[in-house]
Amino acid sequence: MTTPSDPHQELREGVRALCEHFPLEYFRKIDAERGYPQEFVAALTHSGWLAALIPQDYGGSGLGLTEASVIMEEINRSGGNSGVCHGQMYNMGTLLRHGSDAQKRAYLPRIASGELRLQSMGVTEPTAGSDTTKIKTFAERRGDRYIVNGQKVWISRIFHSDLMILLARTTPLAEVRKRSEGMSTFIVDLREAIGHGLTVRPIANMVNHETNELFFENLEVPAENLIGEEGKGFRYILDGLNAERALIAAECIGDGRWFIDKVTKYANDRIVFERPIGKNQGVQFPIARAHINIEAASLMRFEACRLFDNRQPCGAQANMAKLLASEASWEAANVCLQFHGGFGFASEYDVERKFRETRLYQVAPISTNMILAYTAEHVLGLPRSF
């Protein structure tokens, strides 16, 4: 809750001040045009918010995941959609924690200044789906290069990024001891790759989210672009995925608070049967319940961030925060739509746009069932189900 004792109040106010320059009309127009909020992302970059996680030595602000989560939350709470830029926050985790000094020096200051954009991460494949260890995209070492062949799907922000973190197999699945071994992560320079071994095909979708199919045909990636050790890429990506889950949870919390504010105001203002609709408990109680669930999810988000920032295992908390927050924001979205009556469906109220945007987070970047399976097996010790 944003009380005066909120330790993040100053940070929240800073992000809000920027977001005020980009009102709901701005995002509504971008959504209708299926455009990209270029000016908004540029403003976030130049004011340093997107470099929050980059250490000060590399030109960033050196903040933690906790602060990054507040930034993402406030963007969504203002009515915007962090989905257009959140990649820059969490994709960098892999590079920050596992990249070499030379890689960090080469990329981080230029990402912090906005000269380079790191908005994309290529993991998902059409035939493997959630079963990531079955990915088939293969990077074969030949001298000072890797030659990449394969296919990815649902890879976001390719046309608004200069770099992509790529997960590919470097040892065939049949030859590894554990299925999580034998995968590696690479930095792919999209400016050189597209048209020279990488073909991109956009996917039209329900939200205004730039996402694509990727086809790799003998794409050459310099060996120096390998992050960390060959074969350990899955572990590096998982580290980044925990950060991603905590940040997505924060975005859902921002959405949830936006929906609750919006519906509370409407329920106070809208008079039907000579009384505000919010006077009816049939209207109040679902709003109150959704609010409670958002606040509970927020606490789990801060716990996941705290553990991550202290370099402690946070897989359970990051996953639980993401599940709780995505379900709570969806509940708030549904309540907000319902109590706007017919007006909930009118684009000018922005509810239907935010409704579509927040729905995504029960599927991507990890679906709810996968979180439940992870919790059952790794937290509770129940038998592995797949």
Ligand X SMILES: Cc1cc2nc3c(=O)[nH]c(=O)nc-3n(C[C@H](O)[C@H](O)[C@H](O)COP(=O)(O)OP(=O)(O)OC[C@H]3O[C@@H](n4cnc5c(N)ncnc54)[C@H](O)[C@@H]3O)c2cc1C
Which chain residues interact with ligand X by CB under 6 A? 121-124, 129-130, 154-156, 205, 209, 211, 360, 363-367, 369-370, 373, 386
Q: In whole angstroms, what is the distance from residue 29 CA to residue 21 CA?
A: 15
What is the C-alpha separation between 41 and 369, in angstroms, rounded? 32
Residue closer to ligand X, measured from CB, 66 or 119: 119
Cβ distance to ligand X smaller for residue 363 or 382: 363
Report, in Å, the least distance between residue 228 CB and ligand X. Answer: 19
> Which listed residue (244, 331, 352, 357) is catalytic?
244
Query: Minimal CB distance to ligand X: which residue?
Result: 129
- From the CB of 362, what's the least distance to ligand X, in Å? 8
- Least Å from the CB of residue 156 to ligand X: 3
244 is a catalytic site residue = yes
Q: Which is nearer to ligand X, 156 or 317 (CB)?
A: 156
Least CB distance to ligand X at residue 237 (A): 9
The nearest distance, CB 376 to ligand X, in angstroms, is 10
- Report the nearest approach of ligand X to the CB of residue 186 (Å): 14
Residue 344 or 365: the one with the smaller Cβ distance to ligand X is 365
**CB of 272 or CB of 363, closer to ligand X:** 363
Length of the chain: 386
Which active-site residues does the annotation give?
A: 244
